């Protein structure tokens, strides 16, 4: 996500890890570690989620807008600060946390596409020191991708971002919407259209928005119906097809493994090798000579 947000951070330490240069759209994920101290932020067009990763409880005082909270944050606790709400925190010991910033325009877009509600009336609520297993699970998946340098690919990040956005809209807005239900999966025509597109563009950076646009539906509903149809998520299917294409090229072409990686949509030799080994328990080189 491009760093276009106007903000003030008085706590000047840089993140340990950041997705800033990884090409993730609509979301920025950063891991921080700070000694005892204080800091403030004010994001004009991003909603912020801070998840505690500290191994020991951290005494905290923080203010969101005109509300002040005090207490100890333990690993798994998090707070939500909506866009335009100033945030100040003071903590009394070494603190480790994951910050997720989601573009407010993206949340509005998901609300309009998925829930058919007026995005201009959307009000995300500030929350402090709460727990939510689904948000924690999504956050840890994003952290894993951050540590592995986005090995799952853009489609995976987009899927997680969409699931996070829908969950925020379901649970943390002033007026909770009713999410339309779509059952039965994709029609055969729709499914073939998507699968043909994936097959023809394996070498390219396929985005979830591209696939959903083929069927003129929201990204969230497309992902839900695709999984109903095939029993696997779009990003998992895409990875499987890329590995199958790599297998064919390894056995039936003289291309180098690096060239095969690019032809199959992987960004490097090592990227292909890691994914290939995870799915086949063999390296590309061993598979070629087997």
Question: Is the pLDDT confidence value at 1 over 70?
Answer: no
7 belongs to a structural domain: no
Q: Looking at the structure, do residues 260 and 224 belong to the same domain, yes or no?
A: no
Which pLDDT value is given to residue 234?
92
Q: Looking at the structure, do residues 21 and 164 belong to the same domain, yes or no?
A: yes
Distance, in Å, from the CA atom of 207 to the CA atom of 214, rounded to the nearest integer, reads 11
Average pLDDT over residues 97-123: 84
Q: Looking at the structure, do residues 231 and 249 belong to the same domain, yes or no?
A: no
CB 109 within 8 A of CB 75: no
Task: Give the domain extent around 221.
Answer: 188-235
| Cα angle for residues 97, 100, 104 (degrees, 5° grid) | 150
Average pLDDT over residues 30-49: 94
Q: What is the CATH number of the domain that holds 161?
A: 2.60.120.10
| pTM (two decimals) | 0.81
Which pLDDT value is given to residue 179?
61
Q: Looking at the structure, do residues 231 and 245 belong to the same domain, yes or no?
A: no
Higher pLDDT, 69 or 7: 69
Which pLDDT value is given to residue 216?
92
Distance, in Å, from the CA atom of 147 to the CA atom of 203, rounded to the nearest integer, reads 24
Question: Greatest CA span in the chain, whole angstroms?
Answer: 66
Higher pLDDT, 74 or 115: 74
211 belongs to a structural domain: yes
| Cα angle for residues 205, 276, 22 (degrees, 5° grid) | 40
Q: Concatenated DSSP letters for 27-58?
A: EEEEEEEE-SEEEEE--SSEEEEEEE--SS-E
pLDDT tens string 141-195? 999 988 886 555 788 999 999 999 999 998 998 876 666 656 678 998 999 999 9
Helix, strand, coil % (nearest 5) of the chain?
40, 20, 35
Helix 154-171 and helix 133-147, axial crossing angle in degrees, nearest 10: 160
| Tokens 């759209």 -> residue | 25
182 belongs to a structural domain: no
Q: Looking at the structure, do residues 23 and 163 belong to the same domain, yes or no?
A: yes
1 belongs to a structural domain: no
**Quick check: helix, strand or coil at residue 155?**
helix
Which pLDDT value is given to residue 5?
39
pLDDT tens string 221-264? 899 899 889 889 899 999 999 999 999 999 999 999 999 999 99
Higher pLDDT, 6 or 21: 21
2 belongs to a structural domain: no
Distance, in Å, from the CA atom of 111 to the CA atom of 122, rounded to the nearest integer, reads 8
22 belongs to a structural domain: yes
| Tokens 């005494």 -> residue | 59
Q: Looking at the structure, do residues 27 and 81 belong to the same domain, yes or no?
A: yes
Query: How confident is residue 10, by pLDDT bands cut at 50, 70 and 90?
Result: very low
Token pair for 169: 């809209």
Helix 154-171 and helix 104-114, axial crossing angle in degrees, nearest 10: 80
Q: Looking at the structure, do residues 24 and 167 belong to the same domain, yes or no?
A: yes
Distance, in Å, from the CA atom of 67 to the CA atom of 87, rounded to the nearest integer, reads 10
Q: Looking at the structure, do residues 102 and 147 belong to the same domain, yes or no?
A: yes
| Tokens 């960004």 -> residue | 267
Distance, in Å, from the CA atom of 25 to the CA atom of 22, rounded to the nearest integer, reads 9
Q: What is the CATH number of the domain that holds 194?
A: 1.10.10.60
Q: Looking at the structure, do residues 192 and 149 belong to the same domain, yes or no?
A: no
Which pLDDT value is given to residue 123?
86
Question: Is the pLDDT confidence value at 212 over 80?
Answer: yes
Q: Looking at the structure, do residues 22 and 141 belong to the same domain, yes or no?
A: yes
Q: Looking at the structure, do residues 129 and 57 belong to the same domain, yes or no?
A: yes
Q: What is the mean pLDDT of the chain?
A: 88
76 belongs to a structural domain: yes
- Give the residues across from 50 on adjacent strands: 79, 99
Average pLDDT over residues 136-142: 95
Q: What are phi and psi of 64, to 5 degrees?
A: -120, 110
Residues of the chain with pLDDT > 90, as a percent, come to 63
CB 238 within 8 A of CB 203: no
Which pLDDT value is given to residue 3?
40
Total tally of structural domains belonging to the chain: 3
Q: Looking at the structure, do residues 269 and 196 belong to the same domain, yes or no?
A: no
| Tokens 């005082």 -> residue | 61
């Amino acid at each position: 996500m491009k760093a276009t947000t106007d903000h003030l951070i008085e706590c000047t330490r840089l993140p340990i890890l950041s997705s800033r240069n990884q090409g993730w759209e609509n979301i920025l994920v950063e891991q921080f570690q700070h000694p005892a101290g204080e800091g403030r932020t004010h994001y004009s067009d991003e909603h912020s989620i801070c998840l505690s990763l500290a191994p020991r409880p951290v005494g905290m005082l923080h203010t969101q807008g005109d509300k002040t909270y005090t207490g100890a944050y333990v690993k798994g606790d998090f707070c939500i600060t909506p866009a335009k709400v100033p945030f100040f925190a003071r903590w009394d010991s070494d603190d480790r946390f994951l910050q997720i910033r989601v573009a407010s325009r993206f949340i509005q877009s998901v609300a309009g596409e998925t829930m058919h509600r007026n995005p201009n009336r959307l009000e995300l609520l500030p929350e402090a020191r709460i727990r939510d297993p689904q948000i924690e699970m999504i956050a840890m998946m994003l952290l894993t991708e951050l540590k592995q340098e986005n090995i799952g690919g853009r489609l995976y990040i987009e899927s997680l971002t969409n699931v996070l956005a829908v969950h925020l809209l379901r649970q943390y807005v002033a007026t909770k919407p009713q999410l339309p239900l779509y059952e039965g999966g994709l029609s055969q025509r729709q499914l073939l259209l998507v699968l043909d597109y994936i097959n023809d563009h394996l070498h390219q950076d396929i985005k979830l928005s591209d696939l959903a646009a083929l069927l003129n539906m929201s990204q969230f509903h497309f992902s839900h119906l695709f999984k109903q149809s095939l029993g696997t998520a779009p990003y998992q299917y895409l990875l499987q097809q890329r590995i199958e294409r790599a297998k064919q090229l390894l056995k039936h072409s003289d291309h180098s493994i690096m060239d095969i990686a690019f032809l199959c949509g992987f960004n490097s030799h090592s990227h292909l090798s890691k994914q290939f080994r995870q799915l086949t328990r063999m390296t590309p080189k061993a598979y070629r000579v087997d």
